[in-house]
Amino acid sequence: MILKESTIKEIKTRMERYPSRRSAILPALTAAYRQVGHLDNAVYKEISRVIEIPYVEIAEAATFYTMFPKHEVGKYLIQVCHNISCSLRGADNMLIYMQEKLGIKMGETTDDNLFTLISVECLGGCSAAPMMQINQDYYEDLSREKIDTIFADLRAKAEEEGK
Amino acid sequence: MEQVFLKYIDDPNQHKIDTYIEHGGYQAIQKVFKEYQPTEVIDTVKASGVRGRGGAGFPAGLKWSFVPQNTGKPIYLACNGDESEPGTCKDRVIMENNPHLIIEGIMICCYAINAHHAFIYIRGEFAHPAARVEAAINEAYAKGYLGKNIFGTGFDLDIIVHTGGGAYICGEETSLLSSIEGSRGNARIRPPFPAVEGLYKCPTVINNVETLSSLPSIFNNGVEWYRSHGTEKSPGTKIFSLSGNVNKPGNYEVDLGTPLSYVINDLGGGIQNGHKLKAIIPGGSSTPLLMPDQIDTPLDYEAVAEAGSMLGSGAIIVIDERSCMVWVLMKLINFYAHESCGRCTPCREGTAWLKQLINRIENGDGQPGDIELILDVCDNIMGRTICPLGDAAVMPVRSFIQHFRDEFEYHIEHKKCKVETDYPFV
């Protein structure tokens, strides 16, 4: 089993509140994504068993929603906004800097499997641009110095957790 | 200026129910339960003139009055917190700072339309704002403000937070309903309108977070007070999300009708580092440009429309002299091409073509005739799709070419920007 007991419980708790079982698809995808870090066929199959909706309907819905990576990503998924408000405040520069700093190109994952770097459309942090999301957290008013600190902190955190 | 949404923005405990109550929260709903019949609530909201803050500006009370009360089906409220129009980050600040204001607004609306189930649709990326709202809902349940027999009135109400999966289209009301139902977020053909046949084929009202958050102030202070803010046709206050090339970007709540220049210069500290203003997107990325000589346009639905644009979601994006407008438009069209849900051919194919054409001009591969081709593609999208996403993609394209055609022509002919600057690569 991929999904943990706690994830399955969360999915079931949420499902019970809706007037229709189908409505639990998106909450289930969200819960699974937060636990696993990405979604794929194996995950859809488990969700299908939990909420008793055909697998194909889970996959059909999941493939519409771009927030969930559909393949394995690093421990930290860095999503940098490249839309207008962030671009006007230097998002392109931040992206170049992050690629240099991590030694990877857009869409790639670092060798230690810690960071995956992608750019995404507007995240609703426009008045604190440029900004990015790493896993569930927003990091705003980015600068090179701030990026250095954020990456260093995350590396330290990962090391701590690895012990 | 008096504020409704951001009055307690500096109080770090405003999101907690006890602080909200200390600040006069949950008074309006108790007054409504005691003193108003549901139809009187609708009449009051109609009289207040509050208009939908999501973008369309449709009168909220009128929307509610379309809900049939005799179908025997349950009635639903969907609160729209999908907030994905580039430039817009106003609902997030309400969710984070003042979630009980949203809940109280939802309660007032549900009482008026006789709904016992409400959904708050929050964009999936807003994990923390959604957690804030959910925590607030749990507090309200614990106090007996939600659930069965609220305040001993016999009125039942459940609120469910439904988070999205990163799709701009789900902020469109019928797509939002598809998404709650567990489907891909495709828009639906209207009629039937959601008020008649919406969520689970039942009558449904969809209102923006900011719209619903306006309601408690109307019942606490009265219609006259509410109408003393804003203009005759655009009453009340509104949050404007100021972003782009200004010194102090941020969310600012002002009366509707406040001059754009006040928001940009007085609140926003003027154009970034003293640069010259080039253009303004006044209401979110899909709204046509305003030019520097229009900076005194009052920020209300009518005045901005008269100036040739739309108030939209109130997301003001400021562009200064350093930007090449081909580059800016490329950023916008890439967004719309990515976010088209793919259901309607004109939008799916059209936005992809616009993306290709504008990117090739930006990259120095533009061909003579590309501008005409772009405008032709626009003509074939506009008004030919189920939902407004296609139109939303076309409006900025037409507007950018109308005002800055010279920059596009220069780019095609000289394979580079007319604006001589390294910006934003500094």
Rounded average pLDDT over B83-106: 97
**A57 vs B contacts (CB less than 8 Å):** 182
Are the beta carbons of A125 and B181 separated by less than 8 Å? Answer: no
Express each pLDDT in A103-152 by its tens digit.
Answer: 999 999 999 999 999 999 999 999 999 999 999 999 999 999 999 999 99
Task: Mark whether A57 and A83 lie in a shared domain.
Answer: no
Question: What gap in Å lies between CA B181 and CA A21, rounded to an integer?
Answer: 9
**A128 vs B contacts (CB less than 8 Å):** 89, 249
Q: What percent of chain B has pLDDT over 70?
A: 99
Does this model's pTM top 0.95?
yes
The pLDDT of residue A6 is above 70: yes
The pLDDT of residue B426 is above 70: no
Closest partner CB to B181 (pick from A22, A29, A128): A22
Q: How confident is the model at residue B313 (pLDDT cuts 50, 70, 90)?
A: very high
**B123 vs A contacts (CB less than 8 Å):** 124
Domain holding A39, by residue range, is 5-64
Task: Mark whether A111 and A151 lie in a shared domain.
Answer: yes
pLDDT at B174: 96
In a domain, A132, yes or no: yes
- Average pLDDT of the residues of chain B: 96
Residues facing residue B77 across a β-bridge: B118, B205
Task: Mark whether A52 and A18 lie in a shared domain.
Answer: yes
Rounded average pLDDT over A82-97: 96
Express each pLDDT in B338-382 by its tens digit.
Answer: 999 999 999 999 999 999 999 999 999 999 999 999 999 999 999
In a domain, A70, yes or no: no
pLDDT at B1: 75
Q: What percent of chain B has pLDDT over 90?
A: 97
The pLDDT of residue A28 is above 60: yes
Task: Mark whether A90 and A116 lie in a shared domain.
Answer: yes
Q: Are strands B117-122 and B147-150 parallel, antiparallel or unpaired?
A: unpaired
Q: Are B151 and B108 in contact (CB under 8 A)?
A: no
CA distances from B55 to B80, B209, B211 (A): 11, 12, 10
H-helix segments, B228-324: 260-261, 301-306
Task: Mark whether A33 and A81 lie in a shared domain.
Answer: no
Map out the domains of chain B with their CATH numbers.
17-227 (3.40.50.11540), 240-320 (3.10.20.600), 325-414 (1.20.1440.230)
In a domain, A135, yes or no: yes
Task: Mark whether A114 and A48 lie in a shared domain.
Answer: no
Which residue out of B163, B183, B200, B358 would a mutagenesis test of the A interface target, given it has the greatest number of A Cβ atoms within 10 Å? B183
pLDDT at B316: 98
Closest partner CB to A26 (pick from B162, B323, B331): B162
Are the beta carbons of B244 and A92 separated by less than 8 Å? Answer: no
Structure tokens at B247: 């010194």
Task: Mark whether A82 and A152 lie in a shared domain.
Answer: yes
Express each pLDDT in B137-179 by its tens digit.
Answer: 999 999 999 999 999 999 999 999 999 999 999 999 999 999 9
Strands (E) located in B105-181? 117-122, 147-150, 155-163
Express each pLDDT in B91-102 by its tens digit.
Answer: 999 999 999 999
In a domain, A48, yes or no: yes
Q: What is the domain-level CATH number for residue A40?
A: 1.10.10
Express each pLDDT in B183-201 by its tens digit.
Answer: 999 999 999 999 999 999 9
Task: Mark whether A130 and A83 lie in a shared domain.
Answer: yes
Are the beta carbons of A64 and B165 separated by less than 8 Å? Answer: yes
How many domains, in total, are found in chain A?
Answer: 2
